[in-house]
Amino acid sequence: MKSSHANISEELLARYLADTASESERNEVEEWLSESEANARELATYRLIWDHTASMQKSRVAVDTDAAWKKMKGKMAAGQAPAILPEASAREASAREAKTIEFRPEVRQRKLPVTVWAAAMIALLVMAFGWFFLIVDKTPESLNVATTDNTKEQILPDGTKVFLNYNSSITYPENFAGDLRTVSLQGEAFFDVKPDANHPFVIQANGTEIRVLGTSFNVKAYKKTPVRVDVATGKVRVSKDEHRVELVKGESAEVLADSIRSLRANINMMGYRTQVYEFNAADLQDVVSSIRDGYHVDVRLSNDKIAQCRLTIRFEKEPVDATLSVIAETLDLSLRKEGKVYWLEGNGCQ
Residues 158, 172: contact at Cβ < 8 Å?
A: no
Q: Are strands 208-212 and 201-205 parallel, antiparallel or unpaired?
A: antiparallel
Task: Tell me the mean pLDDT in the region 51-70.
Answer: 54
Rounded to the nearest 10 degrees, what angle do helices 114-135 and 37-59 cross at? 130
- Which of 223, 240, 267 is the endpoint of a domain? 267
CA distance 91 to 109: 37
Res. 240: pLDDT tops 60:
yes
Q: What is the pLDDT of residue 97?
A: 47
241 and 281 housed in the same domain: no
Res. 92: pLDDT tops 90:
no
- Positive or negative, the CA dihedral 215, 216, 217, 219 is positive
149 and 126 housed in the same domain: no
30 and 125 housed in the same domain: yes
Q: What is the pLDDT of residue 9?
A: 78
CA distance 10 to 46: 9
Res. 140: pLDDT tops 80:
no
Asked whether residue 48 is domain-assigned, the answer is: yes
The number of beta carbons lying within 10 Å of the beta carbon of residue 56 is 11
18 and 131 housed in the same domain: yes
36 and 53 housed in the same domain: yes
Range with top average pLDDT, 17-21, 57-61, 148-152: 148-152
Residues 231, 247: contact at Cβ < 8 Å?
A: yes
223 and 287 housed in the same domain: no
- Which of 226, 251, 267 is the endpoint of a domain? 267
Task: Tell me the mean pLDDT in the region 194-218.
Answer: 94
Q: What total number of domains does the chain contain?
A: 3
- Please, what is the Cα angle at 315 between 311 and 317, to 5 degrees? 160
Asked whether residue 333 is domain-assigned, the answer is: yes
Lowest mean pLDDT of 13-27, 217-231, 317-331, name the range.
13-27
Q: What is the pLDDT of residue 276?
A: 95
231 and 331 housed in the same domain: no
CA distance 229 to 210: 8
What's the start-to-end Cα distance of the chain, in Å? 88
pLDDT higher for 245 or 118?
245
Q: What percent of the chain has pLDDT over 90?
A: 54
CA distance 223 to 226: 8
CATH code (residue 216) = 2.60.120.1440
Asked whether residue 315 is domain-assigned, the answer is: yes
Asked whether residue 4 is domain-assigned, the answer is: no
Res. 80: pLDDT tops 60:
no
Asked whether residue 91 is domain-assigned, the answer is: no
Res. 214: pLDDT tops 60:
yes
Lowest mean pLDDT of 87-96, 148-157, 257-266, 341-350, name the range.
87-96
Asked whether residue 77 is domain-assigned, the answer is: no
Query: Could you read off the pLDDT of 267-281 as tens digits, one per residue?
Result: 899 999 999 999 999
- Which of 219, 236, 267 is the endpoint of a domain? 267
Asked whether residue 46 is domain-assigned, the answer is: yes
162 and 219 housed in the same domain: yes
126 and 33 housed in the same domain: yes
pTM, to two decimals: 0.60
Range with top average pLDDT, 74-83, 85-94, 210-219: 210-219
* Predicted confidence band of residue 155 (pLDDT cuts 50, 70, 90): very high
33 and 116 housed in the same domain: yes
Domain that holds residue 205: 142-267
Residues 189, 165: contact at Cβ < 8 Å?
A: yes
214 and 305 housed in the same domain: no
Q: Are strands 227-233 and 216-221 parallel, antiparallel or unpaired?
A: antiparallel
Q: Are strands 201-205 and 181-192 parallel, antiparallel or unpaired?
A: parallel
Asked whether residue 322 is domain-assigned, the answer is: yes
CA distance 132 to 135: 5
254 and 293 housed in the same domain: no
CATH code (residue 302) = 3.55.50.30
